[in-house]
Amino acid sequence: MNKLQSFGLSLGLSASMLAVSPAVMAAPVEYAIDTPGMHASVNFKIQHLGYSWLTGRFEKFSGDYVYDADTLSNSRISVKIDTASVSTNHAERDKHLRSADFLNVKKFPEAKFVSTAITGGDDSMQVKGQFTLNGVTRDMVIEAHKIGEGKDPWGGYRSGFSGTTSFKLADYKISKDLGPASAEVFLELHIEGVRK
């Protein structure tokens, strides 16, 4: 083989490697959601009498997700929430929220969201799935976006996302009448995951 043929072969191999490298890099990556309260949170707010916002959060939840940067449709997420961990910084109100009037935690101690499809792009993605609360499962769409990803100081690799959605209390058989201004709950999810 002469030098020209050798150069052509090398060039061809290099081109082939470049052609396949995106496919190799595109493998979906699985993450475990980081510790609640540290770098992840599930927050909510609901209007109080139409005069102000009542805010709260769930102290305990867990989950994982798969993120494919090149083919977002390969991504998925699953989150489980301990409903008894609800906190609005008011003990008596939290006790009422755990009762059968609202979250009914004795009968339904867990809420969960499981995605069925993720579309869009990093700056604006629609996470479609099913949300189960108070023994009722309904379709839900979370409007989300990617915050960032990269290595952490401890030798791991992380990525983070934020999302918002809302639902009507009545859709989940929560019939306590709080007035028309308080019929809808707004959720905020801030998720940071550690690559498995």
Tokens of 194: 């550690």
pLDDT at 105: 98
Q: How far apart are CA 19 and CA 16, in angstroms?
A: 5
Domains observed in the chain = 26-195 (2.40.128.110)
Q: How far apart are CA 41 and CA 143, in angstroms?
A: 16
Tokens of 119: 């579309």
Tokens of 6: 């050798």
Could you tell me the pTM of the whole model? 0.84
Q: List, in sequence order, every beta strand (DSSP E) within 60-135.
A: 61-67, 76-82, 86-87, 110-121, 124-133
pLDDT at 26: 55
Q: Which helix (H) or strand (E) holds 10?
A: helix 3-25
Per-residue pLDDT 10s for the chain (196 aa) are 554 444 344 434 344 444 444 444 558 999 999 999 899 999 999 999 999 999 999 999 999 999 999 999 999 999 999 999 999 999 999 999 999 999 999 999 999 999 999 999 999 999 999 999 999 999 999 999 999 999 999 999 999 999 999 999 999 999 888 999 999 999 999 999 999 9
